[in-house]
A and B are shown apart, each in its own frame.
Chain A
Amino acid sequence: MIPFDYQRAAAPADAVAAVAGRPGAAFLGGGTNLVDHMKLGVAGPDLVVDVSELPLNHVLETDTGALRIGATVRNSDLAAHPLVRRRYPALCRALLSGASGQLRNAATTAGNLLQRTRCPYFQDTSTPCNKREPGTGCSAIGGHTREQAILGASAHCIAVHPSDMAVAMLALDASVGVLGPYGERTLPLDALHRLPGDAPEQDTVLRHGELITDVELPARRFAARSTYRKVRDRASYAFALVSVAAALDLDDGVVRDARVALGGVAHAPWRATRAEEVLRGAVASEGTFRQAADAELTAARPYGGNAYKVPMVRNTLVAVLRGLTAERPDRPYPGWHGPGLEEESG
């Protein structure tokens, strides 16, 4: 690990000033990603500004009925929050499907959004990687592609964003509050993460020194009928191969409004706007759901080893939408009663 100075920031503005004033500085939240990257040599900040104790540990309801989530709220606390459990089941399920109990106790809201890809080439400093070292090439293209992107990739990078939480927040119309050296700004979560293009080293549109202070989830009718389903190699403690967050506002069997976001398929959490267009105004039926999935996947470009993701997204999306139209939409899919339980209780 490269030597670094350490500061604990007392106020968001102090943290921003400290990082903005030094090109090699980095914010440290829960440390579950950055500390690992410092050990691996993927990151080497010369100043670490600890923001984990900033007074941003709040989950509040605003005047407009939105939920404002502070940047330092731990993933486990957010998942356990009564308002998240009752009003935003997709977010609750997404958080609970991520990482492990120990990691969720450390990981923060902002840190989760800003975590970096788990592409093995990105994490291995002995291999070329445009994201880690711009201009060196992409080892994944023509290499091991099983976990890589099928949507929105470029000739420079085919990595995927690893977050579960961000996918659910995207489907819930989240916006992100940012404090920078020149003041505050708010941007839709949709606009935070970038596609790789020819600059895959930039995961987000944030500039050096900009600090995420909170995430806001607006009050939307579809939020209550939302869920998140994650498909992975193990039943627990693994990153998504693909994941689907979806929310439906139904009116007598017709989709009044819909949100669909996909995880594990792109450089950014992927808002499935083409699928949403098919769903909006259509009868909530199996046929509609298939059509919606197909509409989104016309743009899919698999890279050999990840071709399975195309049918996997289609099937998962259809199953999730089917589940959301069922009587108990809070279950991740029809018949869900938790693995290992023999019958439903309560």
Chain B
Amino acid sequence: MNVRITLRVDGEERSTTVDSRTTLLDALREHLSVTSPKKGCDHGQCGACTVLIDGRRMLSCLKLLVGCDGSDVVTANGLGAASGKSEAVRDPAGELGGLHAVQRAFLDHDGFQCGYCTPGQICSAVGMFEEAAAGQPSHVTTDLADERIVLDDAELRERMSGNLCRCGAYVNILAALRAAQPRSPAGRAPSELPEDGA
């Protein structure tokens, strides 16, 4: 069954006709030439294909494109200010040389080795920061009723556990996440945390 689908990808309206079996990941990479989401396991286990769908991080390998008609999809490619036309995610300062703050932090802290998992890590981190800002608890949150989330290392590790890095660059990914987290007006972001020699 062929279906015509229209969606926003990194701020641009895109249309394509695909077989109903096509995943969002394959449509992005093979039909729309958006190659920043990577195919790692293709079974929802590694996180390399993470994108933001209507502002929420999800695995594009488990999403059928036919279910994405009208969706707003942002990949790592669309996060920066240079291409930041998306409604869902923006670099608010717009002063990072075309890079989103999370992307800049991964560069500054060497948060990768081969780089294959990096676009997924970055999209996941952007979604994760939004979730924490909205007060969503995690498995390691002590007080479930407290909606003021402090993203210490345990929280960051837990919330990013869906993104595997086979190079094992976790130490520097964590350093990048510490540096990239949005600083809230109330000063809840633990910017005072040491950076462990990163």
Contact = CB atoms under 8 A, between A and B. Distances in A.
Q: Do A and B come from one complex?
A: yes
B139 A96 contact: yes
Given A36-B44, A102-B124, A6 B1 contact: yes
Contacts of B47: 100, 102
A157 B158 CA distance: 34
B42 interface: yes
Given A101-B127, A339-B154, A31 B142 contact: no
Contacts of B118: none
A22 interface: no
A92 B144 contact: yes
Interface string A21-57: 0000000100110011011100000001010100000
Contacts of A330: 143-145
A206 to B, nearest CB: 23
Contact of A79 (B57, B136, B142, B163): B136
Contacts of A31: 62-64, 67
Contacts of A103: 44, 59, 162
B138 A96 contact: yes
Contacts of B142: 331, 336-338, 341, 344-346
Contacts of A96: 137-139, 141
Contacts of B160: 101
A107 to B, nearest CB: 10
B190 to A, nearest CB: 11
B161 A100 contact: yes
A3 B144 contact: no
B58 A338 contact: no
Given A103-B162, A106-B59, A80 B139 contact: no
Interface residues of B, number: 48
A4 B21 contact: yes
A305 to B, nearest CB: 23
A170 B10 CA distance: 42
A102 B23 contact: no
A85 B145 contact: yes
B131 interface: yes
Interface in A211-250: 234-237
Interface string B147-189: 0000011110111111100000000000000000000000000
A8 interface: yes
B88 interface: no
23 contacts: A1-B21, A3-B20, A3-B21, A5-B20, A6-B3, A35-B64, A36-B62, A50-B66, A76-B131, A80-B134, A89-B144, A96-B137, A97-B139, A101-B161, A102-B162, A103-B44, A103-B59, A105-B57, A105-B58, A106-B58, A106-B62, A234-B161, A341-B154
Closest 6 CB pairs of A and B: A100-B162, A340-B154, A236-B161, A338-B140, A237-B161, A80-B136
